[in-house]
Each structure stands twice: as C-alpha cells, then as structure tokens.
C-alpha cells in the first residue's frame, strides 16, 4: 500500500486529497492533517462584516472529508522532514510515499509596529466580530484601509472591502459623513492585473468617492493614525492588511531555503525533494514580469488538481499529466450586489495576460455559487 500525506486542509489540500481518492482505489492511503476543526472561505469574513450572512453559515467541519475515504487528522503539524517525507503531529510521526505541503500563509501584523494594537485585521476571522461591532457604532468619520505589507492573500480583497463598506454605509445613511481611503505600498492598485487593470479599478473606486494612494509604505500605526515613510493618514477606523509569511513549521523544515517561501517547479509544483510537492499560498512562483503568482484559493485548487493527477499517474506507472499552466480567475465584488470576473494567463510572456469582464449581478451570483458548489462537493449538505 502507498500513502500520500497532505499537510493543510485549505483549498489546495482538500483538492489534492479528494481528487486523489477519486483517481485511486483503497489500496492507496490518503492522510490529511490540519489543526483547525472547521473550513470556511476567506470571502465569508467580508460578507460577515457588512451583513451578507454570518461567517458560520459558510463554515463546515473538516471531519466530514472522511466521506471521501480520506483519513482526516485534526492536529497541529509540529515538524516536517522533507528528505524522508514525514511529519510530526502531536507526538506521532507520519511517513509517506508522497508528501504535499499546503499549509498556507499566515497574517503577521506583528511585523509592522502598532498594526496589531491599533488596526482591525479582517484577514483573521477572530477579529471580524470586533470590527463588525465598531462598524455598527460608526456614525461617520474617516476609514482607512491600509495594505501594510506584501505579499498578502487574495490581492483584490482590500478594494472589495472598500466597495462593500461603501454600499453598507449608504444603506445605513452615513456614507455622506464618511471618507474611505485605501493606501498600498505597491506601485499600482493591483499589480497582477497590470497597468490597465489597475487603472480600471482606480476608476471604479473614484466613481464611488473612495480615495486611494499608491507607493505609501507604512512605518508604524498609532492610535487613530497611520504613519507612512512620507507622511501620515488620520482615521477613526483603521483596517490593516498585514504582510503574510509561511507558518513557522515550514520555515524550520528548510523547505524555504534562504527565502521566505517554498520554491517549486511552476510546471509540476515539485520541490527540491523527491516526491514532495507544495501548493497554494505557501509557495512562490515568479512570473515573467518578476511578480509572484497571486496567492488565491482558486490557484491553490488548480494546483491541487495537477498534483493529484501527477501522484495518481506515478502510482499507476503512467505518463505524467499536462503541466500546470498558470491560468486562473477571480470574482471581484464591486459592492454588495455586483462583481466582475478577472481571468489571467499568468504564465504568459513577456507578462501575464489579464482580462476583466463587465461588472454585473450575474458575476456576483457566480461568486456565491462558487462557494456553495465547493462546500457541497467537499462536505455534503448542511452546516454540521
């Protein structure tokens, strides 16, 4: 019997485990490990913030993944030994023929002085109720959404947050008393969408009266004030987008080498170790224009499909599947009822090719279906 050990049960890890089970019989063991009891998509945090359903409505128990014939272990991963394809979890060592690292990226507000103390971190679901309470009490003033470090997961999310807040505050009748500003340290709003995509997004923000600033590097955050290296921004409510990093257990494993992320072969998602793969936010894939592949759930899912196909082919002694092609997509919410669809051929040269579709209610509905279909496929019906 052969075994695949998957570390991390987010988009990528769940996809590898369930797709691999679909492709291989019971003589191949699949073990999926994650310290968290429940799964929910990141989009739920913003929806909960503006009254578009609760976070719990999109939450499912990971133990339900066992319905696919996958062994799920709710445990923290305490060490990883890629050379021997094994990992320690709460004292037990698990060994495998194939190892997939899909442990994601963690928000690190501690890397920016004052960010954890004086800004709301909507990238942490535990902070959402506190920000929702602050918004409920908000009767006007200045709101600052500040991208305090890169990379971070779901690149469009800060701008989605701004436009969702715009709609939410209009519904409450306090938008005319409110200034909303988005600031980023990056040279344009959405680098992976290119100059044209970023210019289009700037137009959308301007049409809503949302101010924005680029090339603003955060030095520190103080009570009611964001201090940049070239000025400051006063705000009554600060929403901070923290830089993200790999979990400490990944860094300690040596998988990142001298860098901050796991380098993989873009075509195969293989690491430098035999039969060890890494997918999703924990990786760094550099594109032709020097930018990293976006850290998004869709990309992790597509990478997971390729890795599952590769492992299944290897187990069967078959030819490897087609290479991962770097194509992906994302729904960007333009307020509560409309969205656009962005499609990217990120491995294109000399730079990625990105297309933005029309803003429509249909795209917003597609985003809701995107969540519903995966929750049903992976976990079955009902919240549990």
Same domain as 254, residue 144 = no
Which pLDDT score is estimated for 384? 72
CATH number of the domain where residue 262 is located: 3.50.50.60
pLDDT of residue 91: 80
Three-point CA angle 115, 118, 123, nearest 5°: 55
Task: Tell me: do 65 and 78 sit in the same domain.
Answer: yes
The per-residue pLDDT for 181 is 99
274 CB burial (10 A radius; 0-12, 13-18, 19+): exposed
pLDDT band at 153 (very low <50, low <70, confident <90, very high): very high
Answer yes or no: do 251 and 198 share one domain: no
Q: Is residue 202 part of a domain?
A: yes
Rounded average pLDDT over 151-179: 98
pLDDT of 376: 98
- Shared domain check, 163 and 122: yes
Query: Beta 28-34 vs 71-74: how paired, if at all?
Result: parallel
pLDDT at 32 > cutoff 90: yes
Q: How far apart are CA 147 and CA 170, in angstroms?
A: 24
- At 383 the pLDDT is 81
Domain boundary, last residue among 218, 243, 268: 243
Residue 219: inside a domain, yes or no? Answer: yes
Output the six-digit token pair for 203. 């137009």
Residues 137 and 151 in one domain: yes
Whole-angstrom distance, CA of residue 366 vs CA of residue 322: 28
Predicted model pTM: 0.97
Q: Which residues form the domain of 311?
A: 2-105+246-322
239 domain-assigned: yes
Is 340 a member of any domain?
no
Interior angle at CA 66, CA 63 and CA 72, nearest 5: 60
Q: What is the mean pLDDT of the chain?
A: 97
For residues 285 and 177, membership in a common domain is answered with: no
170 domain-assigned: yes
Give residue 310's pLDDT. Answer: 99
For residue 160 the two structure tokens come to 């989605």
pLDDT recorded at residue 23? 97
- Mean pLDDT to the nearest integer, 211-222: 98
The answer, yes or no, to whether residue 295 has pLDDT greater than 80, is yes
Residue 274 is predicted with a pLDDT of: 98
Q: Is residue 341 part of a domain?
A: no
User: What are the structure tokens assigned to 202, written together?
Assistant: 């700037």
Confidence of residue 253 (pLDDT cuts 50, 70, 90): very high
In this prediction, residue 152 carries a pLDDT of 98
Residues 23 and 66 occupy one common structural domain: yes
Q: What does the alpha-carbon distance between residue 278 and residue 130 come to, in Å, rounded to a whole number?
A: 34
Q: Is 223 found in the same domain as 119? A: yes
User: Is a pLDDT exceeding 90 seen at residue 281?
Assistant: yes
Helix or strand (DSSP H, E) at 14: helix 11-23
Note the pLDDT tens digit of each residue in 311-334. Answer: 999 999 999 999 999 999 999 999
Provide the pLDDT confidence category of residue 13 given band limits of 50, 70 and 90.
Answer: very high
Q: Is the pLDDT of residue 96 over 80?
A: yes
Pair 121, 238 in one domain: yes
Once rounded to an integer, what is the mean pLDDT over residues 257-277?
98
Compute the distance between CA of residue 241 and CA of residue 159 in angstroms, rounded to an integer: 11
94 in a structural domain: yes
295 and 184 within one domain: no
Domains contained in the chain, number: 2
* 29 and 101 co-located in one domain: yes
pLDDT band at 148 (very low <50, low <70, confident <90, very high): very high
Residues 157 and 268 occupy one common structural domain: no
Nearest to 296 by CA among 306, 307, 312, 285: 285
Contact 260, 272 (CB under 8 A): no
84 is a domain residue: yes
Ramachandran region of residue 69, left (φ > 0), alpha (ψ -120 to 50) or beta? left
Of 273, 299, 322, which closes a domain?
A: 322
Q: What Rg, from alpha-carbon coordinates, does the chain have? A: 21
* Last residue in a domain, options 243, 261, 279: 243
Q: What tokens does 362 get?
A: 């249909």
């Amino acid at each position: 019997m052969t075994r695949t050990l998957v570390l991390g049960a987010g988009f990528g890890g769940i996809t590898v485990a369930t797709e691999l089970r679909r492709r291989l019989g019971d003589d191949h063991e699949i073990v999926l490990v994650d310290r968290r009891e429940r799964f929910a998509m990141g989009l739920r945090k913003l929806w909960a913030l503006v009254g578009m359903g609760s976070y719990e409505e999109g939450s499912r128990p990971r133990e339900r993944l066992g319905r696919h014939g996958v062994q799920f272990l709710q445990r923290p991963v305490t060490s990883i030994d890629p050379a021997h394809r094994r990992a320690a979890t709460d004292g037990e060592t698990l060994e495998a023929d194939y190892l997939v690292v899909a442990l994601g990226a963690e928000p690190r507000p501690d890397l920016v002085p004052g960010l954890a103390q004086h800004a709301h971190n909507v990238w942490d679901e535990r902070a959402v109720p506190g920000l929702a309470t602050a918004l409920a009490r908000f009767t006007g003033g200045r709101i600052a959404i500040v991208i305090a470090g890169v990379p971070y997961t779901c690149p469009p999310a800060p701008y989605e947050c701004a436009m969702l807040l715009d709609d939410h505050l209009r519904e409450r009748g306090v938008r005319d008393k409110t200034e909303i500003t988005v600031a980023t340290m990056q040279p344009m709003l959405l680098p992976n969408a290119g100059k044209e995509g970023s210019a289009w997004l700037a137009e959308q923000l301007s049409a809503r009266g949302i101010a924005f600033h680029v090339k603003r590097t955060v030095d520190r955050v103080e009570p009611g004030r964001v201090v940049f290296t070239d000025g400051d921004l006063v705000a009554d409510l600060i929403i901070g987008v923290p830089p993200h990093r790999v979990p400490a257990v990944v860094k300690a494993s040596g998988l990142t080498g001298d860098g901050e992320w796991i380098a993989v072969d873009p075509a195969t998602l293989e690491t430098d170790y035999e039969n060890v793969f890494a997918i999703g936010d924990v990786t760094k894939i550099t594109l032709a224009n020097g930018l990293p592949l976006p850290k998004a759930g869709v990309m992790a899912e597509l990478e997971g499909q390729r890795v599952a196909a590769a492992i299944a082919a290897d187990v069967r002694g078959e030819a490897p599947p087609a290479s991962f092609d770097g194509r992906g997509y994302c729904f960007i919410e333009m307020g509560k009822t409309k969205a656009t669809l962005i499609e990217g051929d990120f491995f294109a040269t000399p730079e990625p090719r990105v297309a933005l579709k029309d803003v429509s209610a249909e795209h917003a509905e597609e985003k809701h279906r995107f969540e519903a279909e995966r929750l049903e496929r992976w976990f079955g019906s009902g919240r549990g």
